[in-house]
Structure 1
Amino acid sequence: MTTINTLFDEDAIAARVADLAREIALSKPERLLVVAVLKGSFIFAADLVRAMHRAGLTPEMEFIHLSSYGAGTEGSENIRILRDVESDVNGRDIVLVDDILESGRTLKFARDRLNERGARSVSIAALLDKPDKRKTAISADYVGFACPDKFVVGYGMDMGHAWRQLPYIGYVASVGDDSGA
């Protein structure tokens, strides 16, 4: 049996997302395009663009679907493009949104791709950051929360395509695991 323990509750997430939107607004982006990395970031990205609207921004929204996990729990070095950004990114300020910055491979791949296509700037907004897991030199410009070394689910993130629907972020624990967060 899988047990999910709460790491960040709904209220903490909502407050932090609003803070991130205000931080992004302070950068005064031009022709802002928000690019959500599917699938894990879809809930975070939706909440973030609504919060950006409340912060006075009028972003356009796009999606890139990259795969490095498949149905497993460990990322790989092989990144596949399942759906690419369709909008012209040339000369635009882009906020690349992802659920978690871990190895950094996927976000580096996406950032480099957008820069190669002529983006004016590409900043990264990551809901969770696991800097101890980094495999490449990259950091997020906007971070929701530092994340402990646990496998997290909920708020769009999954384990084998399950648990995305949880309104909070939790970590997967076996029955009897009392290690805490």
Structure 2
Amino acid sequence: MTVHINTLFDEDAIAARVADLADAISESKPENLLVVAVLKGSFIFAADLVRAMHRSGLTPEMEFMHLSSYGAGTEGSENIRVLRDVESDVNGRDIILVDDILESGRTLSFAKERLLKRDAKSVRIVALLDKPERRKAAISADYVGFACPDKFVVGYGMDMGHAWRQLPFIGYVVPGEETGADTENEGD
């Protein structure tokens, strides 16, 4: 079966928005900045964002948290497991917590609280995509790339059952066509 993925945000739109986000973060004048990417979905976004931050005059350090709440399915779980934690001392530091998508908010709420308990000076959230209608936790992003419709998205680091992360755009899976070996990109 062929998977049909329609383009939601193309490469140019993503690149422009990432540059805007980096400029906005730079304007906030963070001190002793540590960027913490939530793995796995944010890895491409986080890499592009820190490069754009560099062009905006920031010199952040980079760290990673690997939190699991999804598994191979499409629905989030209330159980969050720490698979890899931040190794750097966060005490007194401004932190930008980067994630691919803010849906239920459980994972980012968990990560933010974890960093604040370690005496981070501040923890601001940047989410590439925001789905507020799916929110379960009382949290919002300080910086948002795009409002996301209530569709299952893939590409630009985001996956479906560990596939489609490599796509250079963000697309959505056409309902009823969710498994297969081939991808057809149908622009919207």
Q: TM-score, normalised by structure 2?
A: 0.93
Q: Are residue 38 (structure 1) and residue 39 (structure 2) matched?
A: yes
Structure 1 residues 47-126: aligned runs within 5 Å? 47-126=48-127
Deviations 1:27-69 (A, max 9, x none): 0000000000000000000000000000000000000000000
Unaligned runs of at least 5 residues, structure 1: none
Q: % of aligned pairs identical?
A: 83
How many residue pairs get aligned? The number is 178
What secondary structure sits across from 2:49 in the alignment?
A: helix
The residue that corresponds to 2:180 in the other structure is none
Moved over 4 A (4+): none
| 1:158 and 1:164 in contact (8 A); partners too | yes
Alignment match, 2:15: 14
Distance across 1 between alignment mates of 2:95 and 2:62: 10
2:170 alignment partner in structure 1: 169
Give SS of 1:89's match: coil
Q: Would you say the 8 A contact 1:2–1:175 is kept in 2?
A: no
- Over 3 Å counting, the alpha-carbon distance change for 1:108 and 1:175 in structure 2 is closer
Matched residue SS, 1:114: helix
Q: How far has the Cα of 1:175 moved from its partner?
A: 6.5
TM-score w.r.t. structure 1 length?
A: 0.96
Offset at residue 102 of structure 1 (A)? 0.2
Report the secondary structure of 2:136's partner residue. Answer: coil
* Amino acid across the alignment from 1:147: C
Amino acid paired to 1:88: D
1:136 is aligned to 137
Structure 1 residues 60 and 11, CA, compared in 2 at 3 Å: closer, same or farther?
same
Q: Is the 8 A contact 1:32 1:94 kept in 2?
A: yes
User: RCO greater where, 1 or 2, for CA within 8 Å and sep 6 or more?
Assistant: 2
Take 2:118 and 2:173, find their aligned partners in 1: how far apart are those partners?
Answer: 38
Instruction: Name the SS of the counterpart of 1:23 in structure 2.
Output: helix
Where do 5+ consecutive residues of structure 2 fail to align?
Answer: 178-186
